[in-house]
Amino acid sequence: MGIEPTSSAWEAEVLPLNYTRFGRRLAKIIIAAPEGANVARGNAQRAPNRPILEARNFLSLIASEMQAVDAVIRKRLHSEAPLVREIAEYIIASGGKRLRPALLLLAAGALGHRGHDCHELAAVVEFIHTATLLHDDVVDESTLRRGKETANAHFGNAASVLVGDFLYSRAFQMMVGVGRMRVMQVLADATNIIAEGEVLQLMNCHNADLSVEEYLRVVRYKTAKLFEASARLGAILGGAQSALEEGFAAYGMHLGTAFQIADDVLDYSGQEEELGKSLGDDLAEGKPTLPLIHVMQHGSPEQASLVRSALEQGGRDAFPQVIRAVKETGALDAALQTARDESARARDAIAALPDSQYREALLQLAAFAADRRY
């Protein structure tokens, strides 16, 4: 952190025009310098001067609070059913970036608030996230998560779905414990929208005619909504007035959108050992994500029809050819640029916050959402 970026060309690319008021000062803060070894391991598609962003840069500020959140998570995993404990422990102990709790703590911290309710609600959003992952891996038939076999691969689909339900309902017990109607309203709305997003996505599988707008709607629902709720809850706990709360909510929504678009790029270009997930899961499920939509809209007729039939069929047979098409058409870079634009919108949404370490960490978190490898 705090190391000068080596390329002003990259700065121009990553800091869009409407963001120039932060200029070089911010670039110095948010961008870690490229590390040759990491770049060499990274995606061949990426520019050699691509910066490497690390989650630890913004997590260090709240390290002790994150420990408190982990303690809440452990305490609240308790169940009479040993299998619940085993599976919940299996997925939670395997790590995860804990970005949603971090977002909540940083938003509250930026408003000078911390403490018990923050830790409880940070654990709540991580439980909701974990429940969605358990369900999502069943739906996507994924076999690798956080560098380990998925819970569905290890314990079976039925157990994964049921423990996902357990985590969801435990999260609701905990939020009721906080005792604030507004908090319950935000989380009830968010979980409902997430479920709707997953259903919309299911309906869109194998649909090669999906528009960018329809794709973005699914992204906002299934992923960005929980980031939005996390940031909004931090603002509510911090006593924000409604305009400020909306600013934090917009920040979370744009950040979450950037995060999912980046995830969809990494599904074609990441390194499995860094990502902890298998590449190609999206194509296998016939998901029309932004890189594929780009090829179908901007590629040659041959490239477009290759991707169209791979999507309609699903499976992994055409994965190498599809990777070639997304790379040759610049689809990964185009999608990444969309993620960076969303990240810039997120940063704009909190631009009015007074200078603080929390504000800087929130800006870093938004940058990481788009430019990450894991």
**Window of 69-77, 80-88, 93-101, 313-321 that interacts with ligand IPE by CB under 6 A:** 93-101
Q: How far is the CB of 242 from ligand IPE (least distance, A)?
A: 27
What's the closest the beta carbon of residue 370 comes to ligand IPE, in angstroms?
Answer: 13
331 lies in the binding site for ligand IPE (CB under 6 A): no
Which of the ranges 2-10, 133-141, 303-311, 347-355 carries the binding residues for ligand IPE, by CB under 6 A?
Answer: 133-141
Q: Answer yes or no: are the C-beta atoms of 223 and 190 closer than 8 Å.
A: no
Q: What is the DSSP letter of 80?
A: S
Instruction: Count CB neighbours of 45 within 10 A.
Output: 17
What's the rounded Cα separation, in Å, for the pair 74 and 110? Answer: 26
Nearest-approach distance from CB 35 to ligand IPE, in angstroms:
21
Is residue 148 part of the contact set for ligand IPE (CB under 6 A)?
Answer: no
Among candidates 120, 15, 8, which has minimal Cα distance to 344?
15
What are the backbone dihedrals phi and psi of residue 149, each rounded to the nearest 5 degrees, phi first? Answer: -55, 140
Rg (CA), the chain: 20
Could you say whether residue 277 binds ligand IPE (CB under 6 A)?
yes
Q: Would you give the binding string for ligand IPE spanning residues 181-220, x where CB under 6 A is met? A: ----------------------------------------
Note whether 341 binds ligand IPE by CB under 6 A: no
Asked if 290 contacts 215 with a C-beta cutoff of 8 angstroms, the reply is yes
Q: Which stretch binds Mg ion (CB under 5 A): 26-34, 136-144, 174-182, 358-366?
A: 136-144
Q: Given the complex with Mg ion, which of 168 and 358 has the nearer CB atom?
A: 168
Nearest residue to 258 via CA among 209, 313, 219, 221? 219
Both tokens of 348, joined, read 């704009």
Give the whole-angstrom CA distance, residue 140 versus residue 138: 6
Identify which of residues 136 and 333 has a Cβ nearer to Mg ion in the complex. Answer: 136
Q: Two tokens at 356?
A: 């603080």
263 binds ligand IPE (CB under 6 A): yes
Q: Candidates 97, 206, 217, 308: give the one binding ligand IPE (CB under 6 A).
A: 97
- Residue 136 in the binding site for Mg ion (CB under 5 A): yes
- Report the phi/psi class of residue 130: left, alpha or beta, with left for phi > 0 and alpha for psi in -120 to 50: alpha
Which one of the spans 11-19, 58-66, 95-103, 242-250 is the region binding ligand IPE (CB under 6 A)? 95-103
Both tokens assigned to 368: 């990481």
Contact residues for 116 (Cβ-Cβ < 8 A; gap 6+): none
Q: Note the residues at the interface with ligand IPE (CB under 6 A).
A: 96-97, 99, 132-133, 136, 140, 142, 146, 222-223, 260, 263, 277
Q: Note the residues at the interface with Mg ion (CB under 5 A).
A: 136, 140, 263, 267
